[in-house]
Each structure stands twice: as C-alpha cells, then as structure tokens.
Structure 1
Amino acid sequence: MPSLSVIIPTYNAGKQLAACLDSLLAQRVTAREQEVEIIVSDGGSSDETLQLAHTWNCRLMEGPPGRGGQLHRGAQAAVGEWLFFLHADCQLPADWPTPLQTFLADEKNRERAGYGRLHFASSKSAARRVERLANWRTETLGLPYGDQGLLIHSSAYNRLGGYRDIPLMEDVDLVRRLGRKHLKPLDLEVTTSAEKYEQQGWWKRPSLNLCRLALFLLGASPERLARGYR
C-alpha cells in the first residue's frame, strides 16, 4: 500500500485518544509494513493528550485551537501520499487496512475521497436510528461528516486548498468543494463516541445538527453557527 498519513485533531482528548490510537495500531506489524504515519494535531490541550501522543510515538503538531486549522496543519506536515483524517473519539475495526488498501489500489480514486459508515458506541435503539439517518444523508446528499473518516490523495487535497480554518462545518465545506461525484464509500465502519448524544439527547442533538447544516447550506457563516454551538 502507498504511504499513508493518519491525521487526528485533538483538544483535551485524553479520554478518547488512547482507544483511537489502540484501534489504529492494533496490528502494529501491518501498520509498519504499510508505512503508516500518525500525526496528532493538537490545539492547546492541558490534559494528558500530548503525553499520549508521545507514548504512542505519534508525530505531534501544536498550534491554536480550531479543528479546520488543526486538520490542515497536520496535512501540510504529512509525508504520506494519502491522507486519512480521523477524529480522536473514533475507533476503527481491526481489519481497517484492508478497505483502505482496496480503495488505494484503484487509480481512479486518486481524484476521489473515501468515507466510512457511521456507528455509535452505544447499544441504544436511538443510536441505530441516528446512524441510519446520518448514513442516508451521506449517501443521498453526499455530505459525510468528519466522524466518518475521510481518505484522500494528497494531490487532490492540495488542489482543493484543503480544510479551511473555520470554527465549524470544516468537514462539510471540504466535501462540498470536492463534489458528490468524487465521493465513494469505504467498506469500513467507523465507531464514534455517543457521549454528547447521551448528554444532550438522541432527538435534540441530531435536530440541532440538522438545523446547523441547513443554515450553513443557506449561507450562514461558520462563525455565527459556532457561537450558537458553544
């Protein structure tokens, strides 16, 4: 497999980062053979995030907070031919290199981006409902979110101008510039934390997210949306 850089933005992500890195490096021999570089792009953490990055021998990038900017700094520092963006509260299955290798083997995909299927770390039926809605949104509207992972060739990423340093919707902004016809599903399930949904409610949080998406698509600024998000 061509060289791959996994880029993880963090901000006080100590509670989730260890599990994320463990899922990435569960097959350490495979990862080494496939030249996998892991970059933790931090935005000023004050918890154990930085120590975890050092413990797991990740490349550490430090800078101001803001996920879009952090993702872009990580991409600029990456040496891999391919870039895989992954949130710190996400985990991959043990066989994750296989679907990525399948995607990378197709030369046509150098102009595309691949994304995973969303799965929440929760046994509740409400989690399955939100998963179905999110995966429908992705397939029908061509709008995968960052918690599904995004795999893209470095040349295509640079041609797009990469992630913008905006406070919210950096993932939607990038895939809209890429275009729906250049998106392709990976045979990969990405498990993401359900903590915020458990805290805010399985109806309330998806409804708020949908409202923010609609406002963004209608032209609301990410700065204004971020104020409401906070």
Structure 2
Amino acid sequence: MISIIIPVLNEESSIIKLLDYLCGYANNASLLEVIIVDGGSDDETVKLVNDFACAHQDMSVRLINSQKGRGKQLHNGSKVATGEILYFLHADSYPPKDYDLLIINAVKNQHAAGCFRMKFKSSHPWLIIIGWFTRFSWKASRGGDQSQYITRELYDKIGGYKTNIPIYEDYDLITRLYEIDQYYVIPKWLKTSARRYHEKGVIKLQWFYLTIYWRKYRGATIDELYEYYLSKCD
C-alpha cells in the first residue's frame, strides 16, 4: 500500500479536484490510502474531504487534524499512515498517470526515495526553464513541489520530517537523503500550480527564493530565514 499524505490549510477551492484526480489517474486506487492533514482550516475544506470520503468507498480517504506548519502536518500524517511507502504531496501538485505504479516500480528497482520531474502550469519562460532543470539529479533542482516518495523503513531510519523547523522542511529531508545517496528522479512529469509566482511576480519571487538559499548557504539560522520568508514570500 502507498499512503499519500497531503497537508492542507483552507484548500476548499482545490482539494476535491485533487482527490478526484488521484482516484482517476491511479493504476489501482484500491491500494491507496489518502491522509489529508488539516492545519486548522476555517473554510469548507474539512467538510468537503469528509463528504468525499463517504462518497468514494473505492479508495481509503481520511482526514486528521494537526498543528499548523507543513513539517508538523507531514510528520503527523506519517505517524498514522499504514502503507509500506509514504508519498508526500502538496495540495496543488498533480502527479503523472499511473503515479502509484511508477513509485512501486522505482522501489522495486532499489530506489527507496525520490520524486518526479516537475512542470509548472504556466507558459512563463522562466518557470518553463525551472521545470526543465528538474530532470537532472542535482540536489539544487529538488523541492517539495515535486512531491516526495520514501519507504516507511527509510523514513523511520533517517528520522522523518523535522517538526521544529518552520521552513525548508522539504529540503532538509531531501538533504539527508542525498547525504546517504538515496534519491531517484522518476522520469515522468508532475504538474504544479504557479499561482504564488503569478501573485507575487515570477522574477520577484524567484529572487526571494534565491536569497533564502544564499543566506542559508552563508549560515543564516532557520529563524532568520523564516522571518525573511514571512516578510517577502508569504
């Protein structure tokens, strides 16, 4: 079984579309467990998920509550997951057709952790370039929007997502996987929303992200990076 873990906060406009997609584009939805981890939504997200779960008995869908914070939500989802493979997915990212079979085959071929290549749902030239580079195995080309699969055994071995950091939780986990040479990029394309880029301005937001990356490289603390993120990116 694959446990798909999706952190949400006020996703009423998109969560049902994603759940329908995951059910319809899986190779075998009956072998999936979908765990929606709500961080305190005050819209209709919780009701919509619960209604979907009742109406779709062909796929296991359940909702749990968590403290707000993606690292906390991801890890809390992992604690209740029962699958041998964990698949962490953002609420605005859509994996390729037969994504479940692609992940299972990657694990069978001794790739215990990894992601998909990624394309933004945008025709902006810069976002097309960013997506193009995700085909390479470099750590610098990785990010949470590409999703993250990992076997339960390996997840527990490396300690999972850290719940005490407010930013970079995806990259922190990815870094630990690269350090033990356990990362594989499945050569199929996931599509993700470019909404935040277009809201903030593509070049402006990319500059903010690069600044965070550079400051981290130069030794900035997580709290300093988070303060900058809140002021520029949130």
Q: Give the TM-score normalised by structure 2.
A: 0.87
In structure 2, what residue type is equivalent to 1:67?
Answer: R
1:179-190 pair list within 5 angstroms:
179=178, 181-190=181-190
CA RMSD of aligned residues (A): 1.9
Q: Which among 15, 21, 25 is matched to residue 17 of structure 1?
A: 15
1:55 paired with 2:51, answer yes
User: Aligned partners of 1:130, 1:142: CA distance in 2, in Å?
Assistant: 11
Q: Does 1:163 align with 2:161?
A: yes
CA distance in 2, matches of 1:142, 1:208: 16
Once the 2 structures are TM-superposed, how far is the Cα of residue 84 of structure 1 from its aligned partner? 0.3
Is the Cα contact below 8 Å between 1:130 and 1:206 reproduced in 2?
no
2:127 maps to which residue?
A: 127
Secondary structure in 2 matching 1:152: strand
Name 1:30's counterpart in structure 2.
28
Q: Which runs of 4+ in 1 moved over 3 A?
A: none
**Code of the aligned partner of 1:173:** D
How far apart are 1:143 and its partner, in Å?
A: 5.4
Aligned residue in 2 for 1:70? 73
Matches within 5 A, 1:106-125: 106=109, 108-109=110-111, 112-125=112-125
Maintained 8 Å contact 2:161/2:170: yes
What is the one-letter code of the residue matched to 2:39? G
Aligned counterparts of 1:141 and 1:29: Cα–Cα separation in 2: 29
Matched, 1:102 2:105: yes
- Deviations 1:74-133 (Å, cap 9, x if unpaired)? 001100011000001111233322311321222x22xx3111111111133332123235
Q: Deviations over 1:32-55 (max 9, x none)?
A: 1xx110000111011121122212
Q: How many residues align?
A: 221
| Cα gap change, 1:72 to 1:126, in 2 (>3 Å) | same
Q: TM-score, normalised by structure 1?
A: 0.89
Unaligned runs of 5+ in 2: 54-60
**Greater Cα offset, 74-83 or 7-16:** 7-16
